[in-house]
Structure 1
């Protein structure tokens, strides 16, 4: 049954991920795209918090979780802790609201594929995930109802990671992820020219830019978990990703084309490559800001948990020489998330829904992007279910989540995004290193 679920999940998620762009957000025009990875489905269903660590779920935000060996380490009592596999995808429905029009769009994406292997006090994790995504088509109409500008973009960056965790003591664990980021971002900008009589000039010019980016960065994690009394459990975590750089190999060209105002089609006549090497822009560096997060929470083992997490990024340090523009800038970003879960009876012999994990959360964020002097903020509320599947002794589960949120503003003729994300993942456990006992 588990093998069938894996095949079905990967097939559906892979099909969705190649069917459409990973995002439909106009704000993916800026920087290296919109941030796609915001934690596992379990994290996102609790408002985005990654404070809670256990031995049956992969936590891709904190590498200290790879050992899976913490206080109580349920349900394996610290022995024969499972190898954990997880895969996930998201379908998004987005309403783009402007001063004069509303547009609905959707996208489907693969979110992550990862494996975590505990070995005594050590633990290892590795996997693949889309990190940022670019996918937009923006058109600017003048007061006469004529198209003036058209911007298109696609691509993004992916991340392959390998992590290591070590359990210092029964309550304290540390870890580090080594991430290799790579991808391609393509942008085009068409500015239409008109005659004094309002007729389209015969030939128009479109600017095309392509960047192939790659580079390494690190993520350090710390996790603490202890019992305050016979029932209450305290969890605290912290992660830090230092500032890093991506290398970017760039190309830019200009296409002369015919534009059909009725169909919107563009017929290219010729293309001229720009000499970026002479300008020092053929090879550039993209600065990725540092990030710090910390959180804490209280709960009763196998029953309930409530936690909060704060994340801060030095986004004002972001730089990307090849994609500069006059209307946007960056400020330091922050996010606060609150969330938790409840399990009626995790080992109930009857009543399936007694073993279901019920999750909920909320978050507030300043994304760090400033457009036309307007700070782009984001708000979200989420709910989720963890549905037990397969062998009850392994505690595998299918996770369903839904997020309702809003990003941006209609001030200064900007776009406000109202989105709904439907998330699904499989979190599957298997014993590879079971300690056998004989009478």
Structure 2
């Protein structure tokens, strides 16, 4: 129990790391921000493939039914971080940005026979961007009519995080179900400034802020059917409850006189402005003799009917209200696999895991009435066993991931990410016989 408390305290200290944004993407200005993966280290090597996996020595947060498979003698503690480089391309103008981020901290252990418990800290979304553009107001400037320029500056920060507690139960062989209950919290800050080189024109700023504190519920089930003595299929199902987040959002419209510096602020407020989508996942995993595991996952997030705050109109007709047309339903398809000769072998390379995965994600944002970026991604990963006199059950998970986001007429993103996760697997609950 003392070690569990120590692990929880470590997770608490690590919350500071989640305060930093894990993105530089301009697309994080929309919705709840850039949606973060819920995958842990071994899933990331397969590009997030998860729904059908139930590992005895890894924590699969994406399907809580898998907790029931955790080794009865182990306490598993898994923490991961990422390093990423992103290239942004807009009309041939390219910019690079880099980030380092604590990705997740999760733990799991067997509470009772056929019942596994897990707790953890993960991101849900990230907001982080800062860019601007400058244009001429006069199409044809002349000495008698000098050019006036206007600049638009956009920036934002924040994101949502979740601390979760979950359990999975296998009531009879081959079938298990589970649930995660999470506390979701965070702030979303977005700032827009319109300024002119002409000192007679006021500077207009729009500052959007929101603080979110609410719950999140996820459910999962798995059924495994043996085909032959060496082959089995596992069907995984997940569902995340969509609901209102009972959070207010505020918009401060600030007009500043460029000559005197005097500002006039108009404040707008919307109650119960944000909502989580209903999310459904289904996956199928084929396991050959515990050596080769190949699977496919499909996820649907029901964003299409969700409303979003919008400031519209000018002067006395300005309104700040919820509007539709900002989102589409989000579809994600993932194919991947894991190969390991066998954990019962003593050879180092025999116990290595080799992983790969690819994904396609449909556009779910609507930007100026057009579809936002679609996403293509691929990953390669390895699970490196840690073998020494003290511990031979822990695993170092390393993966490399490529993510491309693009849409016609919009910024293209190419991101290269290195994920590093360390899974500590300790025999805490074994009873040793003393001669």
Range class of TM-score, shorter chain: 0.7 to 0.9
Q: Which runs of 5+ in 1 are unaligned?
A: 1-5, 70-75, 260-266
Aligned residues: 407
Matches within 5 A, 1:180-259: 180-193=183-196, 199=198, 201=200, 203-255=202-254
Cα drift, residue 283 of structure 1: 2.9
- Contact 1:327/1:371 (8 A) holds in 2: no
- Contact 1:180/1:215 (8 A) holds in 2: yes
Q: 306, 324, 327: which one pairs with 1:318?
A: 306
Distance 1:12 1:304, change over 3 A: farther
**Structure 2: distance between partners of 1:284 and 1:325:** 10
**Structure 2: distance between partners of 1:68 and 1:337:** 23
Residue 297 of structure 1 corresponds to: 285
1:348 aligns with 2:351: no
Where 2:31 maps in the other structure, the secondary structure is: coil
CA RMSD across the alignment: 3.2
1:365 aligns with 2:361: yes
Q: 1:380-428 deviations in whole A, cap 9, x for unaligned?
A: 010001011156875210100111120122x23x101011111011111
Q: 98, 104, 109: which one pairs with 1:112?
A: 104
Residue 151 of structure 1 corresponds to: 154
Residue 60 of structure 1 corresponds to: 61
Residue 48 of structure 2 corresponds to: 48
Q: 1:291-335 deviations in whole A, cap 9, x for unaligned?
A: 001011212243111110111111102223367799972111101
Cα drift, residue 226 of structure 1: 3.5
Matches within 5 A, 1:390-409: 390=387, 395-409=393-407
Using the TM superposition, name which of 213-222 and 242-251 deviates more.
242-251
**Structure 2: distance between partners of 1:435 and 1:268:** 77
Cα drift, residue 100 of structure 1: 4.1
Residue 131 of structure 2 corresponds to: 138
- Contact 1:380/1:406 (8 A) holds in 2: yes
- Contact 1:13/1:109 (8 A) holds in 2: no
Distance 1:313 1:282, change over 3 A: closer
Q: 1:68-127 deviations in whole A, cap 9, x for unaligned?
A: 25xxxxxx6xxx341211111111110111114111111111111111121212121111
Residue 274 of structure 2 corresponds to: 286
Residue 121 of structure 1 corresponds to: 114
**Structure 2: distance between partners of 1:134 and 1:436:** 50
**Structure 2: distance between partners of 1:114 and 1:383:** 22
- Contact 2:307/2:324 (8 A) holds in 1: no
**Structure 2: distance between partners of 1:430 and 1:331:** 44
Cα drift, residue 161 of structure 1: 0.9
**Structure 2: distance between partners of 1:254 and 1:285:** 18
**Structure 2: distance between partners of 1:379 and 1:150:** 29
After TM superposition, the score normalised by the length of structure 1 is 0.84
Distance 1:166 1:204, change over 3 A: same
Cα drift, residue 255 of structure 1: 4.3
**Structure 2: distance between partners of 1:347 and 1:38:** 29
After TM superposition, the score normalised by the length of structure 2 is 0.84
**Structure 2: distance between partners of 1:432 and 1:310:** 36
Residue 3 of structure 1 corresponds to: none
Where 2:42 maps in the other structure, the secondary structure is: helix
**Structure 2: distance between partners of 1:399 and 1:11:** 23
Residue 387 of structure 1 corresponds to: 384
- Contact 2:285/2:295 (8 A) holds in 1: yes
- Contact 1:131/1:159 (8 A) holds in 2: yes
Where 1:287 maps in the other structure, the secondary structure is: coil
